[in-house]
Amino acid sequence: MSADIVQTQDMNAQKVVKVHKKLPLKEKIKRFSFITLGAILMAVSLELFLVPNKLLDGGIVGISIMLSHLLHIPLGLFIFILNVPFFFLGYKQIGKTFAISTLYAILILSIGTSLLHPVPPIVDEKFLVTIVGGVILGLGVGLVIRYGGSLDGSEILAILISNKSPFSVGEIVMVINFFIYVAAAFVFNYESAMYSVIAYFIAFKTIDIVQQGLDESKSVWIISDQYEEIGDAINDRLGRGVTYLKGEGAYTGDDKKVIFCVITRLEEFKVKDIVNHFDKSAFVAIGNVAEVKGGRFKKRDIH
């Protein structure tokens, strides 16, 4: 009897211990190369197009631009100092990998803006600056998000606030940016504020193209024979709940388990990584979700 108990305990212990293989070096190099490129593109957009013409981005970067203009302190310094606290506050919500990628992106952006600051702007015609600057900005931000990072702490702040309020991340970001652009009208002028809004909209649409969908939430459907391993990894590494659904192949008639979960757009890259690690031939479908209500969508802390 005691031997059976010991065996059962050993089996339980084996189930509890979950080892997740680290990302291959080649994939790490690819990820950080694109994050570096994205951060540099954003620095180019800011220093060679937007900032010299008194246009600004939204979020923490927009606040940094206004403070730099008022206090005559390098923009890169404000970007780094103002962003870092939000990532430490939201570490449990965004996870270790995302936090490291984001801090790296912010560091490259800060250094890039400092190095490019002495370079004269490429153009000074407001219309061209708005369009070209907005597109380059969107390309940079889109690349960083696509490869598992972020360039602005306002979204992290919005995630933290949304966990304790009835408002979505998108709604909170919109309110934050509204006040930033209103403030820009007083710091610069109304014309600069309006052009900044247009540049932000262009950047937003460009990110949409790079990301192939910028909705806050996404539904994920996964069909794989390794459904338990994939489901456990999503639960452990993202803090997201998963649901196993029963499916049947129309052609083969085989019973299949279907994994369903809802994630944010910032988590899409990591979900793909998890699925690819356990089953490269798995069927994965990711769609945009307009609204999420009820259930247990709000993620738990990642330890």
Q: What is the pLDDT along the chain (303 residues), one digit of tens a residue?
A: 445 544 444 545 444 445 556 777 888 888 899 999 999 999 999 999 999 999 998 889 999 999 999 999 999 999 999 988 877 776 766 777 888 888 899 999 999 999 999 999 888 888 999 999 999 999 999 899 888 888 888 877 777 777 777 877 777 888 888 999 999 999 999 999 999 999 999 988 888 777 654 446 788 999 988 888 998 998 888 888 888 888 887 777 788 889 999 888 778 888 989 999 998 888 999 887 766 766 655 555 554
| Whole-number Å distance between alpha carbons of 48 and 204 | 19
- What's the CATH code, domain 217-289? 3.30.70.120
Question: Can you give the residue ranges of every domain in the chain?
Answer: 25-211, 217-289
Within 10 angstroms of residue 45's Cβ, the number of other Cβ atoms is 28
Q: What DSSP string runs through 93-143?
A: HH-HHHHHHHHHHHHHHHHHHHHHTTSPPS---HHHHHHHHHHHHHHHHHH
Residues ≥6 apart with Cβ < 8 Å to 290:
215
Report phi then psi at 238, rounded to 5: -110, -15
Cβ 214 vs Cβ 265: under 8 Å: yes
| Whole-number Å distance between alpha carbons of 72 and 18 | 51
